[in-house]
Amino acid sequence: MFFNRPILAIETSCDETSAALVIGHELRSNVIASQVEMHAKWGGIVPEAASRAHVESIIPVLREAMGNMPLTDLGAIAVTNRPGLIGALSVGLSAAKALSLRFQIPLLGIHHLEGHLLSICSQWPEAMAQTPILSLIASGGHTELVRVDGLGEYTILAETLDDAAGEAFDKGARLLGLGYPGGAAIESLAREGDRKRYSLPQGMRHAPEHFSFSGLKTAVLRLVEKEGAALDRAGAAASLQHAVVEALARKVEDAIAPEFRALSLVGGVAANTALRARLHDIATRKEIPFYVPERSLCTDNAAMIGLAASLRLARGQRHDASLDAYPNSPLPAAE
Ligand code: KG4
Ligand code: ZN
């Protein structure tokens, strides 16, 4: 089911420059150079700055991921080619193509969200043989509830009409003066607060196909304006986290029909302890396994791209040097 030769995987779709060495479903390395500090100064991602930082980091990150293995030992090079910031994607894609051409190594482009979906395969290599899986992707750019029937067999059951779940954390954190990115900062401040302190909207409660987080952002803005110096920031962080977790979890509860054989949670927001615990409970109640990657595999990384590639390469899939990058792209088919 997995490709049995070493795969060098590259991920540069957003603000992490990452390279990983994957053999089968085993991760030999997963190097991540984060640009978070640089973007924090601007309060968000500046695409042009992201591209330049990828150019600076890509060679050292590739070298570190390869370790002592010669490039000629590689069986394939996998690279995120969609969706993402086009300038950022192009840096990883150019590096992948150059190595592929120079050393005559097969090349495969991978969809970023398929990488997140299949990030569970390192800990649960048999996961894709036990489908359907109900998968929640919650990241800085995406919030999607997906029915996974196999590799490339993805049906979107619900998606966001406006902001992503991660954006709700990031924008809320900015309003509370916590800096960028906000997820981890909200999570740690929320530990000191009461989640019932403020009542915040959970968005689209009765629309099974849609999430919506823009109302939550507006509500936090109003709250900050209304309370001023009297604002209980820890209470606000806890209430915000609770609203996002409940909005996500309730949609999962509504969608989890008896045919699902597992529940999975992936993407950067899957690093959130409260969300992990809430979805773990749902799976336990349904008596099905709960797959959630360790935290370093939740936020953007190249290992997940290598895992997705390993499954596709084992099926004989390859691309050539005409491979392109795309800013938007639907979830991929089986091919
Ligand atoms: O998957 P990811 O690294 O990048 C995208 O593909 O978007 O997700 C990044 C998002 C950010 O919005 C960040 O605030 C959120 O994941 N995040 C968290 C936590 N850690 C990262 N959200 C909530 N709790 C966390 N602990
Ligand atoms: Zn991501």
Among all bound ligands, the one having the nearest atom to the CA of 143 is 1
DSSP strands (E only) in the chain: 7-11, 16-23, 26-34, 76-82, 107-111, 133-138, 143-150, 153-160, 210-211, 262-266, 290-291
Q: Can you give the pTM of this predicted structure?
A: 0.96
Ligand 1 center to 220 CA (angstroms): 19
pLDDT tens, 319-335? 999 999 999 999 999 98
pLDDT tens, 182-205? 999 999 999 999 999 999 999 888
Q: What percent of the chain has pLDDT over 90?
A: 93
Per the CB < 8 A criterion, the answer to whether 309 and 3 are in contact is: yes
pLDDT tens, 273-326? 999 999 999 999 999 999 999 999 999 999 999 999 999 999 999 999 999 999
Per the CB < 8 A criterion, the answer to whether 22 and 303 are in contact is: yes
> Looking at ligand 1, which atom is closest to the CA of residue 299?
3
Q: What is the pLDDT of residue 39?
A: 82
Ligand 2 center to 164 CA (angstroms): 11
Residue 44 has pLDDT above 90, yes or no: no
Ligand 2 center to 269 CA (angstroms): 9
Ligand 2 center to 46 CA (angstroms): 16
Residues surrounding ion ligand 2 at CB below 5 Å: 139, 300
Mean pLDDT of the residues in the chain: 96
Ligand 2 center to 5 CA (angstroms): 25
User: Which residue among 116, 269, 295, 298 has the greatest number of ligand 1 atoms within 8 angstroms of its CB, and so is best to mutate?
Assistant: 269
By alpha-carbon position, which residue is closest to atom 2 of ligand 1? 268
Question: Comparing 259 with 35, which gets the higher pLDDT?
Answer: 259
Per the CB < 8 A criterion, the answer to whether 251 and 208 are in contact is: yes
Q: What is the mean pLDDT of residues 198-226?
A: 94
